[in-house]
Amino acid sequence: MSKGLSARHIGCVTASAVPRRHLSPLITVCLLAAAWGLVYSVYRGYYGFGGTVGMIGTVKSTAEWRTLNLTAAAVLMVAAVLPLLAPLASRRARLRPVLLVVCWILAVGCVMHGLIDDMQRVLSLTVVRPVSYPASLWATVDTRAADIQDLAFNETWFLIEGLLWGALGWVVLGPSGTRRRWVGSALAGVAALTAIGMLSAFGVIGRFVIG
């Protein structure tokens, strides 16, 4: 009996002594950002290779449409790889500042893009200010379907992508005053660029390209 108890006791001690491996916050955010980037790359690649489900209208040139989407898919594929390089860059003194700048630009740019386009789509749905489409590319457009699709998926992707890059910068910086300043400047950048984008959308200032 004592031997049995000893064996069970040893088994419990041995099992509890085995360390449980968990993904670090940095690795987790990097994997999520890479996977999320890949999602949009596949989406654009689908149209680039001739997919038609979810089309918001009829294009004038199928070749041009496919080229635009294949180019976007390739760029997004490369961008999806960038987060996987972050763990290495964060440990290198010379690359760490570059990584933080990239995180800041992509976080601010993507969130700003999503906010501006979301507001424009809401205004378009309420017929306050319909979104226009380039006549050189589109023969016909279902504007309501386009607005809903953009709100439900396209701009949601940009918002989440921006937040993931922001989270990556947050994790890399760690608890510090630098982190607070980095986040504060990013929020200020989003606010300023979103305001400029909306002023441009209403024609108050010149054209402001957001994608």
What is the reported pLDDT for 13? 38
Query: Token pair for residue 177?
Result: 């005053």
With 80 as the cut, is the pLDDT of residue 2 above it?
no
Q: Is residue 29 in a domain?
A: yes
With 80 as the cut, is the pLDDT of residue 189 above it?
yes
Q: With contact defined as beta carbons under 8 Å apart, do 44 and 126 qualify?
A: no
With 80 as the cut, is the pLDDT of residue 61 above it?
yes
Q: Is residue 10 in a domain?
A: no
The distance in angstroms from the start CA to the end CA of the chain is: 74
Q: Is residue 173 in a domain?
A: yes
Q: Is residue 5 in a domain?
A: no
Which range, of 100-114, 120-134, 173-187, averages the lowest pLDDT? 120-134
Q: Is residue 207 in a domain?
A: no
Per-residue model confidence as pLDDT tens digits over 76-119: 999 999 999 999 999 999 999 999 999 999 999 999 999 999 99
Rounded Cα–Cα distance for residues 156 and 67 (Å): 24
Rounded Cα–Cα distance for residues 17 and 41 (Å): 43
What is the reported pLDDT for 208? 61
What is the reported pLDDT for 36? 96
Q: Is residue 119 in a domain?
A: yes
What is the reported pLDDT for 5? 47
With 70 as the cut, is the pLDDT of residue 182 above it?
yes
Instruction: Say what the pTM is.
Output: 0.83
What is the reported pLDDT for 201? 78
With 90 as the cut, is the pLDDT of residue 66 above it?
yes
Split at pLDDT 50, 70, 90, the class of 20 is very low
Over range 115-138, report the average pLDDT. Answer: 90
Q: Is residue 11 in a domain?
A: no
Over range 166-184, report the average pLDDT. Answer: 94
What is the reported pLDDT for 210? 54
Which range, of 8-22, 36-50, 150-164, averages the lowest pLDDT? 8-22
Question: What mean pLDDT value characterizes the chain?
Answer: 87
Boundaries of domain holding 68: 23-201
Q: Is residue 6 in a domain?
A: no
Split at pLDDT 50, 70, 90, the class of 46 is very high
Percent of residues in the chain assigned helix, strand, coil, to nearest 5: 75, 5, 25
Q: What is the total count of domains within the chain?
A: 1
